[in-house]
Structure 1
Amino acid sequence: MQKLFVTYIFLAISFLALAQTELNYPDELYGPEKITASWVSHPDINGPSDQVILFRNTFEINDISEDLIVNISADNHYFMYINGIFVTHGPQLSDIKHWKYETLNLKNYLKKGKNIVAIKVVDFGKRRFLGMQSIYTSLLVNGVTENAKVLSTSGKSDHWKCSIDKSYKAIEINWRTEGEKSIVGGFYANNPTDFVDMNKFESSWQLLDFDDTDWQHNQFFESGSSMGGSIAYLLEARNLPLLSWEKEQLKNIVRSTSSKTSNFPKEKMQIPSNSKVTFLLDQKVVMNGFPELVFSKGKDASIKIKYAENLFGPNNKKGDRDNLENKTLLGYYDHIISNGEAFQKFLPNWMRTFRFIEFEIETKEEALTLNSFMNYKTRTTIPSIAQFYSDNEVYNRIFEICKRTVDICTQDYYLSDAYYETMQYVGDTKIQALVWHAMSGNLAHTKNAIRQFHHSRDSEGNILGAYPLRSTFIYPTYSLIWVDMIADYYKLTEDDDFIRSYKNGIAHTISGFEKNMNDLNLVNKTKYRYFVDWYIGPNNGGGTATNNGGENSAIVSLHYVYTLMNASKLYAKMGDEMASQQYAKRAMEIKKSVYELCFDSEKKLFAERPDKSIYDQHTNIMAILTDAVDESLQKELLIKLLNDKELLQATYYYRYYLFEAIKKVNAPELFTLAQKPWEEMIANHMTTTLERFDSKEKRARSEVHPWSTSPAYFYFDYLAGIQSVKNNFEEIRIAPSFGELKTIEGLLPTAKGNIIFKLKKSGSKLFAEITIPDLIKGEIFWRGSKLSLITGKQVYVMK
């Protein structure tokens, strides 16, 4: 096991050592105050629309040993090449008032003499990703070092030339208008896909010997900054590492309409002239990245590349993901037209997510050759190295699918899902942040998310439900969860400066929510939706249990209590006892009202509202977490809510709070029962986690959804019992609870180093082999006894 750990870490570090790095991460070295370049565009661009601009700058370098440092950004997205070699893509997702730029040292890509920097800027048009704010299709490059000034953009007087890529058009994903639908299920917020006619494409445009004589000079769009702010974008340095760009081999054909078998993509494949061929690739696990197709000949052949997380059977039922029989692929696609030349190359303009890829090819009078097809995996380059193994294979596989989901969805922000929406939602992020920290030991993405949500605040104190965002989603419950995220962060780090920076924001959010409360000390209806969970069954309310606009909702009122309790603790830590006591008192008042109005003494359950017409797991879970019910009765209530099938059920998302309740009452024997829905995912050979329960009324949609990954967090935090008690794992507590497990082993990365552990329960004895770094100290607890942990690898036996 330890050998595996060492190998894993070595590979991760080796990859990072070879990659291009962001110079402003983790510390800002090149701030926006020295940016003198301007935003530029193509002179024929009149406004935002789906289009691609290609930029080139040919320049000479005499001393390749000198650093050549630039800042770069674009609207909407850019891809950068030097001397034909891919460097990176960006910018990091943010908003207009906090527009990110990358800072790169390009010297390792240069050669003595002439060099070429080529940049593709993509505008995805009116149906661009809902998380992507935009002003104008534009590029900014700022030379930081003197030898990089030749790369600064300014307009006609600079050294850049540009051309509109006439081969490209955006393919809008149809999910709500008339005609054939592109996807199964509702809401799509991701980017459109690509149509590329290679007959109009300027091949080799990234290379030095390309003839750009007919290209035009850039046109000035706007200054990089002005009057202490910006007329266009208010620039900020990127605060996360660059994304990966790692080659991955794609797997073979599993189904084809052609009688001729092929080992594509491991070997090239020829499609005869005047033919139609459809074939399916199965990657066996869900993946993400930029799949690259290289193809030759086949003048005017049509190539559609379709991507999906899963296949669909009759009535859009998914079932066993490994069973492909009588199932079809329905998903978004790219469409390419061949120009008949050799070694044409297609790379999509935005990340694709897939387990299954289907090619639909129609050739004309010339045969088409598919030379190669591979993927460039893209995600954060912060290593995700956690490992977990137990004596129960189902647990092990649940950990794997949770980890893969969170790894895919941690890009340069936290993605809510990898296929349909790809937005950073508050409720989703609270859970993903905890799981990601368990996987990586790193908090950079979490700090970034909390700050971005803070930027979304409206005048009433509402946090937008998702951010960055070019729309307006407000769920008052998610505003509360933003405060809960800060409490999670502080509990781990004890970072006083961090919470003080949000003190006024917390107060603003809570005072804004307080306006929703009525004379019963329960919530009123608002013009916004109190999202709780994707309930199934009657009275599901579209995510709100009461199905009446949330009026007098006990679960929402109790979540307000939960947040008030968190805020009270935070303000006490900040030395503001008056506010702390005020929040604690308000929490007590609401709890008392919820108990008096909603507790059913006959059923011994909390109803979801005072008329006692609806009962759900959620209200009772939150009653335990907020002590709305006496502590002596909480375990009984927990057992009851887990076994009462008549209650509206907590789905994958809300079971994070269910696991918290199990941990609070210390009932590890109930963990497996609470985890049952994940067992169905394993039985169906899923490799990532679902968004919601499947039902006839509403089919499960997203299959790469991090809010469903909470079991992996609790495997470490509760079953293995490894918790930080001081300053982000400077001091730890290990108190295994096991549940139904007998052995647990793994690796938990922390900011102070990796904790490697093997835990075994035998009767009343605990056998523990634990390796902790020198920077960590703590204790191990078992059945009322405790021992001090010793650094290095040690064996502990406890009765």
Structure 2
Amino acid sequence: MRVILSNPPYEPHLQSEHRWPCAWISHPAAPVPPFVTAYRCSVVLNTAGRIRLHISADERYVFYLDGEVIGRGSERGTPELWYVETYDLDVLAGEHMFVAVVWSLGELRPAAQTTVAPGFLCSPQEPEYQQMLGTGIAPWQVKLLEGYGFALDPYLPPPYAFGPGQVLDGRKLPWGYEQGAGAGWVDAHRDAYAGVRYNRYGFASRLEEPATLPPQSTVLRRAGIVRHIDDCADDARVEVQQHREDEALGWDQLIQRDVALILPPQTTRRILLDLQDYMCAYPHVTVSNGEGSVVRIAWAESLFHDRSLSEKGNRHIIHNKYFRGYQDTFVPDSGGQRHFTTLWWRSGRYLLLSITTGEQPLLMTRLQLEETCYPLEQETHFTTNDIHLNSITGLSLRTLQMCMHEIYIDCPYYEQLMYVSDTRLMCLVTMVITHDDRLVRKAIAQFGAARLSNGLIRASVPGMHSQVIPSFTLWWVGMVYDYALWRGEPEFVYQYMPVVRMIIETFLARINLQGLIQVQEGWNFIDGVPEWEDGNAPDDDHSRITGMNHWQVVLALEYAAALEEWIGEDELAQRNRRLQKQLAINGIETFWVAERGLFADDCSHTRFSEHTQCLALLSNTLPEFQRTSLADTLFTSPDLTRMTISFRHYLFEACALLNRPDVLLKLLDVWYELLANGLYTTIEAPEPTRSDCHGWGTHPLYHQFATLLGIRPAEMGFGTVVIHPRFGSLQRLSGKMVHPSGFIVADLVRTDEHLTGSIELPDGVTGWLEYADQQIELRSGYQKISV
């Protein structure tokens, strides 16, 4: 059983020894990665007992006890935050075999995977078990697992950053290694002690920390339905007239009921499976015999209209389309009940099972999927009288689930990277639908530790690249602000305030002689607008001055000032307010175009976008006349550069600020089109999109609660609440939203100009209801509403 520790292990021991009692171990003759190793240790217990083990590996592990999977790890982190899982195992008296399968992919590893050096760590808490099971102390043995191969697919469009496809050759694999069986085991080499923080030469290469998250959720699923069977090549077009309908029943029975299926010798088959949902999962295939056969499983989010892999069309349609996706290859031997799976999960909606048999028939007895994601529990509900609006809830929630794992990820199919901009929006959604904010806290911590020498933070962590996107650094300040606003916990927030201040100073250092913020060095991505090169805000005159950049800094100062006020740093807050006010004045003088009632994107007033208007509005610095003007021009100017799906969050925030639910409801058409186009998740960008599942498109779920139902914190820490329902064309808004002290429940009905219903607040929480220019005091507990 996994245990989450609140404090590091061995604290008394660390005070005297400055290290853990156990050391990392590795293969004494390990080759250059990629390779897979198995570690084993046999113990005999005279009595039953509970053993607490702290387990980690570089890069990743699967841990077994007597052939049964106990857990996976290590939780994705960085060398500065290297996570160690803790397990409490109730073990009977007798002989037991502990095994860890560890893989090190080196240069082929996923972009989000960090590494120091291949190795394994098993450190028991109790001294009596350290001699039996402690790595560097107990007689652990290791061997290289032949049969594992890895390859990048050269035909898939970049960037594919999730790692290589896997080739598992059953003819070479030493079957039974999970139970410690077979020959070829050698004594492991002892490496550095764990738990060392620093020595006279500097910090240790890994700074071990207790894992912060619960185990990932795993659920066995059936592998969808059969959509097509033929004997064509993998890259051939799917044509329904070639479908082998007579074979569909056999495959359906294998998938749905585990009824064995035999493929005769010298057979080629291509089976297209539709999962009828988006899924992240480990594939599980069990076969017997079939030496000379090859089984390939490829994953795709959609089929494509042409070989250029750009246009997808309706995702339900497969006829006259091409399948292309990343694949894993399994090569059976002549043995019975051979189980094949992958080391890391795969993702998508469609599976292409491609099989060729040799001289022997192949008996297939199992084809299942082990779905995996963060164990997100939605504790809320939102409903309206509009069934179309209700349907967006499921779309957004499924996307969030598929983008929550050991980190938030931008997309499960392509990069699997935690970017600041994407993560901020997913954190907001998380905080309104569940009390579990452990992944939110981890994201803030990971980015806070990813500081660079130029005063910015890395755009994505963890990972092998030091990518810099300056606007994302500013959005991290927003993440800290969001957490303080929606959750409170000043002790947690306080430790990241030095990083907030560093960021603010870094951008203030870019003020030019005209009092405007110059763009930082790096990839200045704002939004994936098709007309913008690489998503950069246009800088036609090469002045390195843009309205978007300037107003985002003004907005970040608003966040920083509110944080400083909340933690009692009034002088720093006042400084931020003073600088914010002056920068806002300079921004108005430079970018405001009175005859249009809009802010320009550039100093020459040639470009205008929704982005600049919203950032200026949300900065809370504009005079009333400009807010009034933007309340019209933002929504009616025909030539504004439009936001894509991610940045619309900030347009929706502007809708809340300007009380324009009618606009917000209309802008949701983008999400309705996704459903009509056969999608189960939100896409990355306007069609033709790359990713069919992208976390930054989940924010309508947040706005259902925070903007339409209108429940928001009235102060930092959510001690009081303001409820401002925005109906637009709706008649009813009803929902239950999480609060740090419980739940806020509202059921409100609008009839003509009257509002009726009920509101329930947690104990100790008060606030007010805003409706039709009235403010009604709200107390803790249940109350009827009539306005």
Structure 1 pair 291–211 and aligned structure 2 pair: CA distance change class (3 A): closer
Alpha carbons of structure 1 residues 63 and 555: separation in structure 2 relative to 1, 3 Å: same
Between the aligned partners of 2:523 and 2:115, the Cα distance in structure 1 is: 27
1:353 is aligned to 2:347: yes
> Which of the residues 189, 205, 220 maps onto 1:219?
189
- Aligned position for 1:159: 139
**CA-to-aligned-CA distance 1:202-257 (integer Å, 9 cap, x gap):** 222223xx534431111123222447456431111112222222222221211111
Matching of residue 515 in structure 1 with residue 515 in structure 2:
no
Aligned 8 A contact 1:379 1:410 in 2: yes
Q: Contact 1:595–1:628 at 8 Å: present in 2 too? A: no
Q: 1:798 corresponds to which letter in structure 2?
A: S
SS at match of 1:506: helix
Counterpart of 2:50 in structure 1 is 67
Of 237, 243, 255, the residue aligned with 1:265 is: 255
Report the CA distance shift for 1:548/1:611 in structure 2 as closer, same or farther (over 3 A). closer
Distance 1:679 1:193 in 2: 34
Is the aligned partner of 1:23 residue 2:4? yes
| Counterpart check, 1:332 vs 2:336 | no
Distance of 2:543 and 2:341 partners within structure 1 = 46
**Is it true that 1:246 corresponds to 2:219 in the alignment?**
yes
Number of aligned residues: 757
1:81 to 55, 64, 80: 64
Aligned residues of 1:305 and 1:333 also touching (Cα < 8 A): yes
Normalization by structure 1: what TM-score? 0.90
Which one of 280, 284, 288 corresponds to residue 288 of structure 1?
A: 280
The amino acid of 1:80's aligned partner reads: F
1:214–1:503 distance in 2 versus 1, CA, 3 Å = closer
Q: Distance in 1 between matches of 2:740 and 2:46?
A: 43
- Give 2:237's aligned residue: none
Contact kept? 1:554, 1:608, Cα under 8 Å: yes
Match of residue 435, structure 2, among 416, 432, 441: 441
**What's 1:193 paired with?**
165
Answer yes or no: is the 8 Å Cα contact 1:540–1:547 preserved in 2: no
CA contact (8 A) 1:781 1:787 kept: no
Q: Give, in whole Å, the separation in 2 of the partners of 1:60 and 1:739.
A: 70
Deviation at 1:728, TM superposition (A): 4.9
Residue 107 (structure 2) pairs with residue 118 (structure 1): no
Match status 1:172 vs 2:152: yes
Give the TM-score taking structure 2 as reference length: 0.91
Tell me, in whole angstroms, the C-alpha distance in 1 between the residues paired with 2:765 and 2:329. 54
Q: What letter corresponds to residue 758 of structure 1 in structure 2?
A: D
Give the Cα–Cα distance (whole angstroms) in 2 for the partners of residues 81 and 747 of structure 1.
41
Select 1:305's aligned residue among 289, 297, 308: 297
Q: Deviations over 1:525-580 (max 9, x none)?
A: 5431222111112x445433336777111111100000012112222233333322
1:662 maps to a residue whose letter is C
Aligned pairs for 1:575-614 (under 5 A) are: 575-614=568-607
Q: How much is the aligned-residue C-alpha RMSD, in angstroms? A: 2.3
Distance 2:776 2:75 in 1: 46
- Residues 398 and 712 in structure 1, CA contact (< 8 A), matched pair in contact too: yes
1:182 aligns with 2:166: no
2:91 maps to 1:98: no
C-alpha contact 2:123 2:135 (8 A) present in aligned 1: no
Tell me, in whole angstroms, the C-alpha distance in 2 between the residues paired with 1:798 and 1:78.
59
Evaluate the alpha carbon distance shift between residue 512 and residue 729 of structure 1 in structure 2; reply closer, same or farther with a 3 A threshold: closer
Secondary structure of 1:546 counterpart? coil
Q: Structure 1: which 5+ runs fail to align?
A: 1-19, 175-180
Query: What's 1:786 paired with?
Result: 776
Inter-partner Cα distance in structure 2 for 1:440 and 1:231: 37
Cα deviation, residue 387, structure 1: 2.4
In structure 2, the residue matched to 1:15 is none
For residues 346 and 261 of structure 2, the distance between their equivalents in structure 1, rounded to whole angstroms, comes to 23
Determine whether 1:496 maps to 2:496.
no
Shift of residue 772, structure 1, vs aligned partner: 4.9
Q: Partner of 1:519: helix, strand, or coil? A: coil
Q: 1:650 aligns with which of 636, 643, 647?
A: 643
Work out whether 1:237 is the aligned partner of 2:230: no
Does residue 1:275 correspond to 2:267, yes or no? yes
Whole-angstrom distance in 1 between the partners of 2:311 and 2:230: 23
**What is the distance in 2 between the residues matched to 1:445 and 1:302?**
40
Q: Is the 8 A contact 1:30 1:103 kept in 2?
A: no
C-alpha separation in 2, matches of 1:334 and 1:213: 27
Task: Kindly indicate whether the alpha-carbon contact (under 8 Å) linking 2:20 and 2:196 is maintained by their aligned counterparts in 1.
Answer: no
Could you tell me the percent identity over the aligned residues?
A: 23
Residues 41 and 220 in structure 1, CA contact (< 8 A), matched pair in contact too? yes
Contact 2:99 2:178 in 1 (8 A): yes
Say whether residues 1:796 and 2:776 are aligned partners.
no
Contact 1:744/1:758 (8 A) holds in 2? yes
Shift of 1:28: 5.4
1:255 to 2:228 alignment: yes
Q: Would you say 1:56 and 2:40 are equivalent positions?
A: yes
Q: Which amino acid aligns with 1:343?
A: Q
Matched-pair contact (CA < 8 Å) for 1:101–1:236: yes
Q: Match of 2:349, SS?
A: strand
Structure 2 partner of 1:745: 734
Query: Aligned pair 1:682/2:685, yes or no?
Result: no
Q: For the structure 1 residues 215 and 780, does the alpha-carbon distance in structure 2 shift closer, same or farther, using more than 3 Å as the test?
A: same
Matches of 1:766 and 1:744 in 2, distance apart? Answer: 11
Q: 2:28 corresponds to which residue?
A: 43
Say if 1:552 and 1:610, in contact at 8 Å, map to a contact too.
yes
Q: 1:541 to 1:87 in 2, by over 3 A?
A: closer
Instruction: Kindly indicate whether the alpha-carbon contact (under 8 Å) linking 2:597 and 2:626 is maintained by their aligned counterparts in 1.
Output: no
CA distance in structure 2 between the aligned counterparts of 1:731 and 1:575, rounded to whole angstroms? 19
* 1:413 positional shift: 1.6
Deviation at 1:286, TM superposition (A): 0.3
Asked if structure 2 preserves the Cα contact closer than 8 Å seen for 1:536 and 1:648, the reply is: no
505-514 vs 257-266, which moves further: 257-266
**Offset, 1:717:** 0.8
Matched, 1:127 2:108: yes
How far apart in 2 are the matches of 1:30 and 1:268?
Answer: 51
Q: In 1, Cα distance between the equivalents of 2:399 and 2:129?
A: 40
Q: Does 1:735 align with 2:716?
A: no
On the 8 A contact 2:174/2:182 being kept in 1, the answer is: no
CA deviation profile, 1:325-365 (whole Å, cap 9, x unmatched): 22222111111111121111112111211111111111111
CA contact (8 A) 2:564 2:570 kept: yes
The corresponding residue for 1:12 is none
| Residue 144 of structure 1 pairs with residue 125 of structure 2 | yes
The letter for the 1-side match of 2:460 is A
Question: What secondary structure, in the 3-state scheme, does the structure 1 residue paired with 2:684 have?
Answer: coil
| Rounded Cα–Cα distance in structure 1 between residues aligned with 2:521 and 2:162 | 26
Shift of 1:470: 1.6
Name the aligned partner's letter for residue 703 of structure 1.
D
Relative to structure 1, the CA distance from residue 355 to residue 567 in structure 2 (aligned partners, 3 Å threshold; closer, same or farther) is same
| Alpha-carbon distance in structure 1 between the residues aligned to 2:548 and 2:227 | 48
* Separation (CA, whole Å) in 2 of partners of 1:749 and 1:270: 52
Q: What is the CA–CA distance in structure 2 between the aligned matches of 1:399 and 1:30, rounded to whole Å?
A: 45
Structure 1: distance between partners of 2:7 and 2:715: 24
2:218 is matched by which residue type in structure 1? W
Q: Which whole-Å CA distance do the structure 2 matches of 1:727 and 1:527 have between them?
A: 33
Change (3 A) 1:550 1:27: farther
Residue 482 of structure 1, CA deviation: 1.4
Whether the 8 Å CA contact 1:729–1:752 is kept in 2: the answer is no
Contact 2:488 2:718 (8 Å CA) reproduced: no
